Structure 1
Amino acid sequence: MSPSRGKTLVRALAAAVLAAAAVVPLSLVTATSAEATPLLRGGLVNFACSASGQLHCLGKAVKSPKGSGPLLTSTPVGYGPAEIQAAYNLGGLHADGRTVAIVDAMDAPTAEADLAQFRSARGLSPCTTANGCFKKVNQNGAASPLPAGDYGWAEEISLDLDAVSSACPDCHILLVEASSADTDPLMTAVDTAAATPGVVAISNSYGGTEDPTITAADAHLNHPGIAVTASSGDSGYGVSWPASSPYVTAVGGTTLSKAAGTTRGWSETAWSGSGSGCSTIETKPTWQHDAGCAKRTVADVAAVADPNTGLGVYDTYNSCGSSAFCDLLLSLGLAQGADGWVQVGGTSLSSPVIASVYALAGNSVTAGSSPYAHPDGLYDVTSGNNGSCSGSYLCTAGPGYDGPTGLGSPHGTAAF
């Protein structure tokens, strides 16, 4: 390409960006919100996690009105720790130093700094490497070398870390980063997490299509005494793995709304994006008794996942820097990552929330059996659906067990 041709393209891109900025005021890109409530209801955008690999992350963000990127704000938006703890009756509970492990692919270079900003803005005590609360390792448990950075997975990691901080502020956090989004590296990371002293729960916010190889990989999810949670999926009715493994607690998603005048103060319906259904491969666990699926049914329990009622997350790892011009590029979808506060959700949010509740409970667990033995410790979610299945409970919420929300969402820690 000639220098003159290159300059022409740069000028054209700049003109397009400036034209977009003239149509929609820049203030919308850096909108502020003093209230810890969802910013808006609008379109959603998937985290741009690396497309390579057998599994993919499951987070979604509220979309900018300016383009195909996320809506960025300069101050906290969405729900925060106060709302998560109030909605699930977790206030005043303590983990006493127990550790939640987060397993994801690729590196988030700004993870610790972004976590510090989130916790400071939300009034939480620091959780750092220096004070022993936070630790980041590769899939083999070493501090280096870490995987290559990935903007989408970094956003997923920020969501996971901030979700644990919101549900369980005094939990220690271990971040284990797999070298790719393939099954083998991620399962190695799960084994590393399970072998780390102090880890009582492991959250997996990723998934992929069931295939004949998953039954062999299931062994890496079988860690008696440790709660292993997995996101049920973000594409509505349909089953993904590892949520379908009989060794995990499969976590579905809800839309969580404030409900003034009610005893609880909150209401939940099944989120339309929550994954659910009947596995075609995995054996049904002995503790699961629904009659409409001869094999493993997804999900077991649920928590907030709808990005429109989602968590405000802080993430600054991106491909363009930290200027207002960068924020505009991110919002337009012309750059990758985030630069500040983003309102997010997906069952990528509900999985670490449930892992944190397990940590608060502090009990030795056997796969996902505990909620089935203590259903009274859950808020039953009785309305909403995630697709079409002839009206079956596999995609339609109702009293008791159903696919999208399982047995329900946490009412304290009694079910865990």
Structure 2
Amino acid sequence: MRSTPPNTPATSGRWRRVGSAAVATAALLLAGLGTAAHADAAPTAAASKQATASAPASAKVTWTRSCAVPRAKGEMACNALRVTGGITAFQLRRAAAEGITPKALSPRAASDSPTGYGPDDLQGAYGLADAAAANGSGETIAIVDAYDDPNAESDLAQYRSYYGLPECSSDNGCFKKVSQTGSKTSLPTADSGWAGEISLDLDMASAICPNCSLTLVEAKSASMTNLGTAVNEAVKLGAKFVSNSYGGSESSSDTGWDSSYFKHPGVAITASAGDEGYGAEYPAASRYVTAVGGTKLSASSNSRGWTESVWHTSSTEGTGSGCSSYDIKPSWQTDTGCAKRTVADVAAVADPATGVSVYDTYGDGTGWVTYGGTSAAAPIIAGVYALGGTPSSGSYPAQFPYRAAGTSDLNDVTSGSNGSCGSSYLCTARSGYDGPTGWGTPEGVAAFTG
């Protein structure tokens, strides 16, 4: 049996939902407010708990946990966090540029405009603007989540309309929502906690690959069996890119699940590395998926315009990484400090202090909200793969970034740590490969093509 993860109610069973952590604050230098302060999640199990950052009053943020208790024993706990007060990094940057005073968010209310990074920010940070404009047509990204979000299509439409992205609806064939059996009418029970995750995943895939089609496959519960069945259905429906923003502790069942659910040659499958710091999780530890770690992404005056470091907020909040206890090491992974599968492969923005804008009306939001976590990073990387084109038949795309290792096609993240493992690269960033960020973050699509 898997142990209950830290900061998860004992009733949550074996699984928890990875990352969708709400944004704290960052990039205060852009607003002349000094060094950014991280927010520490309060270690309580209350579903409506609040957490407050230790920061100057002008930068202070609070957030709430939505859906801390799963619907049934054995399901993944939904740990979505969302800003309920304070000023986000995006707000600070925008206010500084416009010469205005940023307006603090109100508790239990969403904003009437975005309060986190949008498509232009993300495409710019990862060198994707040209590819996003020209590529993706004919490609489909599948988003696998649990339960139903009744407002998924309408919320997605609002996000895409606001940012001027092409329409993606069921009417024009761009958007499809199905159950794990492929049914369009017999959908799972709606769940407000997972709805926030669904909105986050759809919006991030849209932000990176606006010309891609999207298929949302909803599992009837958050068990690995049902989520894995949903992955298989996504591939059956033709998706060559599948994003998974969930995970749990490893177990001896993992190798069997590898073969049953994630061994799909010619399909790029991404999985969040986790949000509770050092320690490998599944399915990120599967040798058949691209394990996606998380970074803090901050605007900078350097030639790139951005800097990144390992996302680490507290001892219980930060990107996952580590050495698998069960999954064998794939032939293309050659680091010597872990005899089995090492997590992660690559990374993208995940720090709640530098979060992304999401439009959500059925989850714990009522419009524009800001999220972070490796739940954001997994669909971002799935979108990058989609911009790179259909993987070659028989390939395992998790290998692709390793072919580009050490080149300018990846932004090497060399600072930060996500836990205590001595000076080991398994939890500490360094030049070249490291556990928290893998070979780095995208700089264009070349590292993600086969």
TM-score, normalising length from structure 2?
Answer: 0.77
Aligned to 1:370: 400
Matched, 1:61 2:61: no
Question: CA shift at 1:139, angstroms?
Answer: 0.3
Matched, 1:235 2:273: no
Aligned to 2:387: 360
Partner Cα distance (1:210, 1:279) in 2: 8
Aligned to 1:34: none
Native 8 Å contact 2:139 2:390 kept in 1 = no
Structure 2 residue aligned with 1:224, among 265, 284, 288? 265
Native 8 Å contact 2:67 2:80 kept in 1 = no
Aligned to 1:343: 370
Structure 1 residue aligned with 2:67, among 48, 55, 62? 48
Q: Deviations over 1:306-333 (max 9, x none)?
A: 1221111010015xxxxxxxxxxxxxxx
- AA aligned to 1:48 is C
**Counterpart mapping for 1:28-47 below 5 A:** 42-47=61-66
- AA aligned to 2:379 is P
1:60–1:112 Cα change, 3 Å: same
1:396–1:46 Cα change, 3 Å: farther
Q: Deviations over 1:99-145 (max 9, x none)?
A: 00000000000000101111111121211000111000000111021
Which SS does the other structure have where 1:279 is aligned? strand
Partner Cα distance (1:223, 1:114) in 2: 30
Matched, 1:78 2:93: no
1:46–1:391 Cα change, 3 Å: farther
Partner Cα distance (2:205, 2:252) in 1: 32
Partner Cα distance (1:292, 1:71) in 2: 46
Moved more, 118-127 or 164-173: 118-127
Aligned to 1:332: none
Partner Cα distance (1:59, 1:340) in 2: 16
Aligned to 1:163: 204
Greater strand proportion = 2
Structure 2 residue aligned with 1:184, among 206, 225, 230? 225
Moved more, 366-375 or 265-274: 366-375
Which SS does the other structure have where 1:143 is aligned? coil
Could you say which structure has the larger radius of gyration? 1
Partner Cα distance (1:350, 1:380) in 2: 16
Partner Cα distance (1:41, 1:133) in 2: 40
1:83–1:145 Cα change, 3 Å: same
1:395–1:58 Cα change, 3 Å: farther
**Counterpart mapping for 1:57-136 below 5 A:** 57=78, 59-64=80-85, 72-93=110-131, 94-136=135-177
Native 8 Å contact 1:58 1:205 kept in 2 = no
Native 8 Å contact 2:343 2:438 kept in 1 = yes
1:212–1:63 Cα change, 3 Å: farther
Partner Cα distance (1:217, 1:301) in 2: 22
Aligned to 1:264: 304
Native 8 Å contact 2:109 2:366 kept in 1 = no
Moved more, 49-58 or 268-277: 49-58
Structure 2 residue aligned with 1:207, among 227, 233, 247? 247
Aligned to 2:295: 254
Matched, 1:244 2:257: no
Aligned to 2:95: none
Moved more, 59-68 or 283-292: 59-68
- AA aligned to 2:418 is N
- AA aligned to 1:85 is Q
Partner Cα distance (1:397, 1:100) in 2: 30
- AA aligned to 1:401 is Y
Question: CA shift at 1:60, angstroms?
Answer: 3.6
RMSD over aligned CA atoms reads 2.1
Question: CA shift at 1:69, angstroms?
Answer: 6.8
Partner Cα distance (2:369, 2:411) in 1: 28
Aligned length: 360
Question: CA shift at 1:46, angstroms?
Answer: 4.3
Gaps spanning 5+ residues in structure 1: where? 1-36, 319-336
